[in-house]
Amino acid sequence: MKSRSVRGLIWGLLVLFSAVPARSDEKHTPVVAAHYMPWYASRPVEGAWGWHWTMDHFDPDVVDWQAKRAAASKEYPLIGLYDSSDPAVLECHVQLMKLAGIEGVIVDWYGTKDHIDYERIHRCTEALISVVKKAGMKFAICYEDQSVGAMVEGGTLEEVSTVKYQKELFSWMEKTWFADESYWKHEGKPLLLVFGPQHFSSSQWKESLSGFSKEVSIYGLPHLAEEYDMTGSFAWPPVSGGKTVSSKEWKSKLDDWYDSGNCLGVAFPGFNDIYEQAGVEKSYGRISPEDGDTFRESLNQAMESGAPIVQVATWNDYGEATCIEPTVGFGFRFLEILQEKVCRLEVSSSDLRLPVDLYQMRKRFLDSEQAQEKLSKASDALFDLNTTLASQLIEEVRGLEKTSPALFEDESRPDDDNYRLLTDIPYRLDGDQYARDRCRLDLYYPADGKPYSTVVWFHGGGILNGNRFVPVPLRNKGVAVIAANYRLSPQVNAPEYIEDAAAAVAWAFQNIEKYGGSADRIFVSGHSAGGYLASMVGLDSKWMEAHGINANDIAGLIPLSGQTITHTTVRRERGQGRNLPLIDEYAPLFHLRKDAPPVLTITGDREKEIPARYEENAYFWRMLKANGHPNTDLVELKGYDHGQMPEPAFPLLLQFINENSP
């Protein structure tokens, strides 16, 4: 459904022409709602991937080395690409919202007619509403009247019939939804948002409102609300013209809207659309997430604006990367911010993990009636906020992993039958709640009784974001993979994430023999930030000594395009610029020694890599040799950039493991 892309033009006009009167200083606590997109279709559920995942450009059946499907987004759902009609997805989403303190949803809706995917979106909306009601939450609608123009253009509706159609649609909404006690009422009247109006003139709009028999609180775009005699307006991430909008600029624009009076608030994590890359149209612009600060600051601004309702924009618009649901990049960060700021329930940040765990267990054990029965009880417990019981039941089902073939996402692979996948294993029990939530690992290992080597794998993401995964090229290769998360900046600073990496490696030494592995065959690797961590724990021996382990007992280090000088994020934590190099105790180069484990350093093409990444790794390799290290090599993968280079690096990694396994 491509018609939605005209939003950019509408918001460009909004940013240019909004007017400014005076906001109320009255203090109150607004309710928080999530703007929800019910438009995703997946091949496993629907038989084909929908336009909002493909945009006629991306093929989700293509899976990269990180186990991510190609998709029309610059973010990626933590639960993988999904279908908006899937009951397990709706269950997960609504439970996450409730645990984060969100009180209801505002659903992006296109009417009921069978045009493009509008009828399917309507069915998904109805399915979502039933789950929202089960959770004791509220719902409202954001009507996209641009759908009327799209239906006229597509021949589904005649222009002369548009007002009549909309009157009938409004009448249907009033009888079907507005009468529902779970429908959101504002000042005693049903709440209706309109992303526009975009198709109708003000006189046509006024005529169509006669479809309502009672008064409705209608909120539209700020530059149109007065012309169309609406109750008020609602704010939205202010991007236009393809420009990068600074925090100062977007805060000023939001203040203008809030000062105009009766404007619903907005909180957003950033904005970074995929439209230009997908060939749909020019980009509308960008707002940087600033590692979560954009969401935190826009939420604070909205909460203090005097607005009666704060709309989170959005729960899951991946095309514009405004999603706050858990993603691979940001994890639970946005929900944790929301929970801390607005949640009035007796729940913790750890509880936010439960709906995702529940979803993953549902998918892994689809064919187990016993598992599904327990998981349904866990789901009921979560809706009732009995997180203790829910956690207990989920862990009982997780125990089945020990005897079940490894299963990733929702599709079984026959060659995984001889492997096991154990998930969410805590590798350190000390520290605060964030440490206990984040310091977890997955273990993928051969279960055929043959000897195997183990790779401890750290994900990349600049020590700022990312989530653990078992690299696809390491699956079914006769090796075990320990994929570990670690704490991230800015929640913590150096050396906490290095300490976490060492603790994960220590877990491997202390536990791998229980699963048939050998402590003499443990290798440490990772990409980018993960490569940096691998080098630090293997070269600076004090990190492993803290666990009673000699770093030289590591069988080998394989950093893929990692930094060898002090990491950019460490320098940033100290207020230093990213282009000012530094070599100190947090630099692998600072800890060169000839008795270190064997080292294979791999980078992308020096002309395509992150600037100077090849050069610092080349110096690292040269100085290792100069210090007398007997087993070190450097490989530059010509033609591959920083993100692409791991794919051709993995065969070299496996060869290195074979050559260095005792």
Q: Report domain extents, the chain.
A: 35-346, 355-402, 405-660
In the structure, what pLDDT confidence band is assigned to residue 511 with cuts at 50, 70 and 90?
Answer: very high
Burial (0-12, 13-18, 19+ Cβ within 10 Å), 28: exposed
Top-confidence residue, 235 or 22: 235
Same fold, 35-346 and 405-660: no
Which of the 8 DSSP states describes residue 400?
G
Is it the case that residue 35 has pLDDT exceeding 70?
yes
User: Is the link from the previous residue into 581 a cis peptide, with omega within 30 of 0?
Assistant: no
Per-residue pLDDT tens digits for 318-361: 999 999 999 999 999 999 999 999 999 999 999 999 999 999 99
Give the pLDDT confidence score for residue 141 in this predicted structure.
Answer: 98
3-state secondary structure of 422: strand
Q: Please name the residues in contact with 346: beta carbons below 8 A apart, sequence gap of 6 or more.
A: 385
Strands 599-604, 556-560: pairing kind = parallel
**What's the farthest any 2 CA atoms get from each other in the chain?**
86
Q: How far apart are CA 662 and CA 57, in angstroms?
A: 47
Is it the case that residue 206 has pLDDT exceeding 50?
yes
Per-residue pLDDT tens digits for 440-474: 999 999 998 899 999 999 999 999 999 999 999 99
Q: How far apart are CA 402 and CA 423, in angstroms?
A: 10
What is the DSSP code string of 52-86?
Answer: HHHTTT--TT-B-TTSPBP-S-SS-BTT-S--TT-
- Contact 97/87 with Cβ under 8 angstroms? no
pTM summary value = 0.93
Q: How far apart are CA 239 and CA 11, in angstroms?
A: 7
3-state secondary structure of 300: helix
448-465 burial string, b = 16+ CB within 10 Å, else e? Answer: eeeebbbbbbbbbbbbbb
- Which among 7, 317, 320, 322 has a CA at the least distance from the CA of 150? 7
Q: What is the mean pLDDT of the chain?
A: 93
Q: Phi, psi at residue 141, to the nearest 5°?
A: -120, 140
- Contact 1/110 with Cβ under 8 angstroms? yes
Q: Which CATH code fits 35-346?
A: 3.20.20.80
Q: Quick one: which H or E segment has residue 450?
A: none
Top-confidence residue, 325 or 364: 325
Q: Please name the residues in contact with 448: beta carbons below 8 A apart, sequence gap of 6 or more.
A: 418
- Which among 137, 141, 37, 52 has a CA at the least distance from the CA of 89? 37
Superfamily of segment(s) 405-660: Alpha/Beta hydrolase fold, catalytic domain (3.40.50.1820)
- Which among 474, 476, 477, 449 has a CA at the least distance from the CA of 459? 474
- Which among 451, 497, 502 has a CA at the least distance from the CA of 658? 451
Residue percentage of the chain with pLDDT more than 70: 95
Which of the 8 DSSP states describes residue 182?
T
Q: Please name the residues in contact with 501: beta carbons below 8 A apart, sequence gap of 6 or more.
A: 458, 484, 486, 533, 534, 536, 537, 543
Per-residue pLDDT tens digits for 161-185: 999 999 999 999 999 999 999 999 9
In the structure, what pLDDT confidence band is assigned to residue 27 with cuts at 50, 70 and 90?
Answer: low
